[in-house]
Structure 1
Amino acid sequence: MENKVKFYGQGKEFFGIWIVNMLLSSATLGIYSAWAKVRTNQYFYGNTEIAGDRFSYHALPQQILIGRIIAAVCVVVWVIANQFFPIASLALLAVGVGLMPWLLRNNARFDASMTSYRNVRFGFTGKLASAYLVFLGLPVLCYLSVGVVSFFGGSQLKAGHFGLGITLLLFAIVLGFLAYSWIASKVASYYLNHYTYGNHHFKAEVSWKIFAKTYLQSGLIWFGLSAIAGIIALMVIGTDVGVFTSPVSGSFPLLIIGAYLFLAMTVMIINAFIRTRIRNYLFGQVEVGDSPVYQLASRMTVGGLLYLIMTNLALLIVTIGIATPWVKVRTAAYLANVTFVIGDLSQLQAEGEAVTQNNAVADEVANAFDLGVGIG
C-alpha cells in the first residue's frame, strides 16, 4: 500500500504569517525571529499529511532564542577576531572545526525530537563518537592521504620525472573523488540509521558506489554542456576574433552574458541531477520498524526539480523577494508530491519515549555557520 505525502499549505495563506514574521523580527532587532521560526515550522509541519494524519512541531521560541543569542555571540566573536586578532581567529577556527561533529549531531537530535506524528515523537540516537569519526576523522584521514600523494606527485615533476609525477597527480585526483563519494555515503548512513519513530528504528544500507556513479555522471554532464556551449559561442562570434583581445568588440558583452547564463544554467542542471539521484536512492533504501516493515520512496525527476528551481528563481527575481512565501510553499508541495510511505499505516503502532533533547544551542549555532546536512 502506497501512502502519498500531501501538503495543504497555500502561498497566500503563508504570506500573512511570513510578512508578520518579517516585520516583527525587524522591529525587535531579530528577537522575534525565534517565534517566527516556530510559527513557520508549525505551519509547514501542520500542513503535511500522511494517511490522514499530520505532523506537529513542538519547539518553544524560548529554546530557539537562547540558541540564537549564543550563535550570534559566536559569530560576532569570530568576525572581531578575524579582523583584529588573526592568530586568535585561527585558534577559534580550530575550536569550531572540533565542535562541528557535536553541533551536527545535536542539531539532528533537537530537530527530530521536536517533530511528532500521531502524537509520537521522532528521535535521533547517533553516538557522538560516530559523529566525530564520520564528520571529522574520515575526512581528515582521506584528504591527508590525497595531500601526501599530491605532494609526492609535485615533487616528482620538479625532479624531472614527468611520467611518475603525472601518474601520482592523476591518482590523487581519483583518490580524492572516491574519498568524497565514500564520505558522503558514510554521512548519509550515519543519519539514516539513527533516526527513530517512537520505538521503531530507521535502517538503510547505503553504497558509496551510487554516490561515485552520480558524481561521475554529473561531471560528464558538465563536460558535455561545456562542449555544446563552446560550439555555440564559436558560432555566435564567427570571425570576430577581436573579441578575445578587445573588450569594446561588439561580441564581447554577448560572450560575457552568455558565459554567466551558461554557468548558472549548468549549476542548476547538475544540482537537480545530483539531488534527484541521491534522494531517490536514499529514500528507496530506508526501512522503518521490524514487523511490519515500512519503506520510503521518492519519485523525484530531474526535469521536475529543475523546473521548480528555475521558476522559483524567476519568481524571486521578478518580485524582488516578495514571492518567498510562494516559493517555500511550492517547494514543500513538490517534495511532498514525490514522496511516499509504503505499507499499511493503519497497522502502525508506536510507543513514544520521554524527550530530553530540549537544547536548541547546537541547532542554532549549526544554522548560523551553515552546517546543516540534509538528505531530503
Structure 2
Amino acid sequence: MQQEYGPSGNPINRPVISFKGDGGTYFGILIVNMLLTIITLGLYYPWAKAKRLQYLYSSTEMEGSRFEWSGTGNEMFKGFIIVVAAIVGYYILAFAIGALGLTGPVSGTLIALTYVFIVFLLIPYAIHGANRYHWSRTSWRAIRFGYRGDRTEFIKLWAKELLLTLITAGIYGSWMTMNIRNYLLRNLRFGSGEFFYDGDGWEYFKLNLKGCILTVLTLGIYSFWWQADIFRYYIDNIRLTSKDNKVLECRSTATGGELAGLLIVNMLMLVFTFGIAYAWIQIRTIEFVMNHVEIRGDLELRELRQTEEEYRNSTGENLADMLDLSII
C-alpha cells in the first residue's frame, strides 16, 4: 500500500488491486473446459465455470494477497439440473400448446403469462440468487463477501421499476438501472464492511442523453468516451464503510482514448485470430479495469472482521447464466 496523508494529517490509504492472470494459462483452461463440456453434452458446464472463476479470482491481488472463489462444480451442478429441468418444462409447455392446437385467446394468454413470469419473477429471482451465492463464495484473507438482500423485497422493487419503465416507453430506464444497482450494492458486505452506492437516475439519464447525442453527431466516435463516462459513474459512486464510519472510496482513471485503444485492439485480435485470442482479450480487459480503479480513504482493510455466512444454493447463479444476466 502506498501511504499518503491529507491536509488534516489523516492517512489516505490506497489499497492497490492488480491482476496477475496470464492469457496462455487462461486459454488452456478454456480449451479444456470447452472439450469436456462438449464430450459430456453440456453436463460439465458447472465444473467449467468453477475452474474459470477460481483462476480469475486467484489471479486478482490486493495488498499482496490473492482473492479466492470457493464455489465448486458439485454445488453448481445441483442448481444447473434444476434450471435445465425448468427450461425443458418450458419447451414441453410450448410443444403442448402446439400439439393441442390451442390458438387465439387461450394460446395468447398462456404465452403472455409465461412472458410475465420470466420477466417479472424469474429474472429478479435469478439476480438475487446469483448475488447470494456468488458473493458468499468470494473471499480475501479469509474475509468473506456476502449479499443480504431480501428476495421478496427485491422482486417487488424489480416489478415496480420495470412497470414504470414500460409505462414511460423506456424513459424511466435510467432511474430503474440506478435504483436496482443501489439496492444490490447497498446489501453487499465485505466482512464487517458495508458497501454503498449513490447513483442518481437523473444524473445517469443526462449522462446517457449526452452520450447518445454526441455519438450520433460524431458518427460513433464519441461512443468510447460515452462508455468511459458510464464506467466512471459506476465506479465513482461505490464506497465501503466500517461501523466506526471509516470509508474507502473507488475512483476511475479510465479515459475515452484509453478505452478506445483497448476495445479497438480487442476487436482486431478477435477478428484476425478468428476468435482464438478470446482468452487474451478477456485478460487484457480485466487488467485494464484493475489498472484504472483507484481506492482511497481512511479505512484499514485489516480492521474488517468475518461476519458473513456461506450460501450453497446455486440455482440463481445458473439461472442468471442461462438468461445471460450479469451480477453487479
TM over 0.5: yes
> 8 Å contact 1:287–1:296 — kept in the other structure?
yes
Residue 275 of structure 2 corresponds to which residue in structure 1? 321
Rate the CA distance shift 1:332–1:287 in 2: closer, same or farther, 3 A.
same
In the aligned structure 2, how far is the partner of 1:133 from the partner of 1:274? Answer: 31
In the aligned structure 2, how far is the partner of 1:224 from the partner of 1:5? Answer: 37
Q: CA deviation at 1:319?
A: 1.6
Q: CA deviation at 1:354?
A: 5.1
In the aligned structure 2, how far is the partner of 1:347 from the partner of 1:114? Answer: 19
Residues 1:7 and 2:30 aligned together: no
Residue 91 of structure 1 corresponds to which residue in structure 2? 113
SS of the equivalent of 1:201 reads strand
Rate the CA distance shift 1:94–1:204 in 2: closer, same or farther, 3 A.
closer
Counterpart selection for 1:279 from 208, 215, 231: 231
Residue 360 of structure 1 corresponds to which residue in structure 2? 314
What is the identity, as a one-letter code, of the residue corresponding to 2:112?
Answer: L
> 8 Å contact 2:146–2:191 — kept in the other structure?
yes
Map of 1:145-294 to 2, 5 A cutoff? 146=168, 176-177=170-171, 179-226=172-219, 266=220, 270=223, 272-290=224-242, 291=244, 292-294=246-248
> 8 Å contact 1:51–1:345 — kept in the other structure?
no
Moved more, 33-42 or 72-81: 72-81
Q: CA deviation at 1:326?
A: 0.7
Rate the CA distance shift 1:279–1:191 in 2: closer, same or farther, 3 A.
farther
Moved more, 55-64 or 70-79: 70-79
In the aligned structure 2, how far is the partner of 1:365 from the partner of 1:347? Answer: 33
In the aligned structure 2, how far is the partner of 1:321 from the partner of 1:85? Answer: 40
Residue 246 of structure 1 corresponds to which residue in structure 2? none
Q: CA deviation at 1:84?
A: 5.5
TM (norm. structure 1) is 0.74
SS of the equivalent of 1:3 reads coil
Q: CA deviation at 1:80?
A: 4.6
Q: CA deviation at 1:347?
A: 5.3
Residue 103 of structure 2 corresponds to which residue in structure 1? none
SS of the equivalent of 1:358 reads coil
Q: CA deviation at 1:316?
A: 1.7
> 8 Å contact 2:76–2:315 — kept in the other structure?
yes
Residue 263 of structure 2 corresponds to which residue in structure 1? 309
Residue 370 of structure 1 corresponds to which residue in structure 2? 324
> 8 Å contact 1:25–1:32 — kept in the other structure?
yes
In the aligned structure 2, how far is the partner of 1:105 from the partner of 1:10? Answer: 32
Residue 59 of structure 2 corresponds to which residue in structure 1? 47
Residues 1:63 and 2:75 aligned together: yes
Rate the CA distance shift 1:347–1:373 in 2: closer, same or farther, 3 A.
closer
SS of the equivalent of 1:340 reads strand
Q: CA deviation at 1:336?
A: 0.9
> 8 Å contact 1:189–1:205 — kept in the other structure?
yes
What is the identity, as a one-letter code, of the residue corresponding to 2:86?
Answer: C
Q: Pairwise CA RMSD of aligned residues?
A: 2.2
Q: CA deviation at 1:30?
A: 1.5
What is the identity, as a one-letter code, of the residue corresponding to 2:256?
Answer: V
Residues 1:106 and 2:129 aligned together: yes
Residues 1:335 and 2:284 aligned together: no
Q: Which has the higher helix share?
A: 1
What is the identity, as a one-letter code, of the residue corresponding to 1:109?
Answer: R
Residue 256 of structure 1 corresponds to which residue in structure 2? none
In the aligned structure 2, how far is the partner of 1:69 from the partner of 1:307? Answer: 41
Q: CA deviation at 1:280?
A: 1.4
SS of the equivalent of 1:348 reads helix
Q: CA deviation at 1:185?
A: 1.3
SS of the equivalent of 1:327 reads helix
In the aligned structure 2, how far is the partner of 1:347 from the partner of 1:326? Answer: 31
> 8 Å contact 2:182–2:198 — kept in the other structure?
yes
Residue 122 of structure 1 corresponds to which residue in structure 2? 145
> 8 Å contact 1:134–1:183 — kept in the other structure?
no
4+ runs deviating over 4 angstroms: 344-347
In the aligned structure 2, how far is the partner of 1:142 from the partner of 1:58? Answer: 37
What is the identity, as a one-letter code, of the residue corresponding to 1:368?
Answer: M
TM (norm. structure 2) is 0.84
Rate the CA distance shift 1:218–1:83 in 2: closer, same or farther, 3 A.
farther
Rate the CA distance shift 1:135–1:275 in 2: closer, same or farther, 3 A.
farther
Rate the CA distance shift 1:288–1:106 in 2: closer, same or farther, 3 A.
same
The count of aligned residue pairs is: 303
In the aligned structure 2, how far is the partner of 1:346 from the partner of 1:207? Answer: 28
> 8 Å contact 2:80–2:315 — kept in the other structure?
yes
Aligned-pair identity (%): 26
> 8 Å contact 1:45–1:54 — kept in the other structure?
yes
Which protein has the larger Cα radius of gyration, Structure 1 or Structure 2?
1
